[in-house]
């Protein structure tokens, strides 16, 4: 099962939801994949998303993702290079070049645009099979959606 999450690294509800997503992935490592889609709504959300994309080019998207959520209060205070180094990015010159590359912003804007086309208006928004969850109502909400999606998938396979 794939959970698509539209989120903003500065969204406090996205941060809370991320903890639940980590638990779900840990409990079902072979059954659940989470696809992160950028949907920046805060002013610094776009550059944070770009930093995550650039870390991803160095194989460190997940570590940057986790660091940005765990250090939301440092976004706009610490440099993107500091975040990158702490996330395991080795080639900071390439990282900075990526930050300045307009193609990086295009990736972020493409995610945001795809969300808008799907009717996303708030973060976080989750797509779990044919279920849409807007906002984060707690761990049980996501776990219930996953269970419901598995149940529906089982019914369609019969």
Please name each of the domains of the chain with its CATH number: 2-157 (3.40.30.10)
Report whether pLDDT(155) > 60: no
Identify which of 151, 108, 157, 114 has the alpha carbon closest to the alpha carbon of residue 129. 151
Rg (CA), the chain: 16
- Side by side, the strands of the sheet bearing 131-134 are 33-38, 2-7, 125-128, 131-134
Lowest mean pLDDT among 10-14, 41-45, 154-158: 154-158
The yes-or-no verdict on residue 41 having pLDDT over 80 is yes
On the question of pLDDT at 39 being above 50, the answer is yes
**Residues whose CB falls within 8 Å of the CB of residue 105, separated by 6 or more in sequence, listed in order:** 46, 50
Task: Report, as an integer, the average pLDDT of 44-72.
Answer: 96
Q: How confident is the model at residue 143 (pLDDT cuts 50, 70, 90)?
A: confident
- The average pLDDT across 10-33 equals 91
- pLDDT bucket at 158, cuts 50 / 70 / 90: very low
Per-residue model confidence (pLDDT) at position 156: 44
Report which of residues 147 and 103 the model is more confident about: 103
Residues 95-106: pLDDT tens digits? 999 999 999 999
d(CA 102, CA 147): 40
């Amino acid at each position: 099962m794939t959970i698509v999450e539209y989120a903003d690294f500065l969204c406090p509800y996205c941060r809370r939801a991320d903890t639940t997503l980590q638990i779900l992935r840990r409990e079902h490592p072979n059954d659940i994949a989470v696809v992160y889609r950028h949907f920046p709504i805060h002013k610094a959300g776009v550059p944070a998303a770009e930093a995550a994309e650039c870390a991803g080019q160095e194989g460190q998207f997940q570590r940057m993702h986790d660091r940005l959520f765990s250090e939301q209060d440092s976004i706009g205070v610490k440099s993107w290079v500091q975040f990158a180094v702490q996330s395991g990015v080795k080639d900071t010159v390439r990282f900075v070049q990526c930050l300045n590359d307009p193609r990086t912003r295009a990736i972020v804007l493409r995610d945001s645009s795809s969300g808008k086309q799907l009717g996303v208006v708030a973060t976080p928004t989750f797509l779990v099979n044919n279920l849409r969850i807007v906002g984060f109502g707690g761990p049980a909400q996501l776990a219930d959606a996953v269970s419901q999606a598995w149940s529906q998938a089982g019914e369609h396979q019969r």
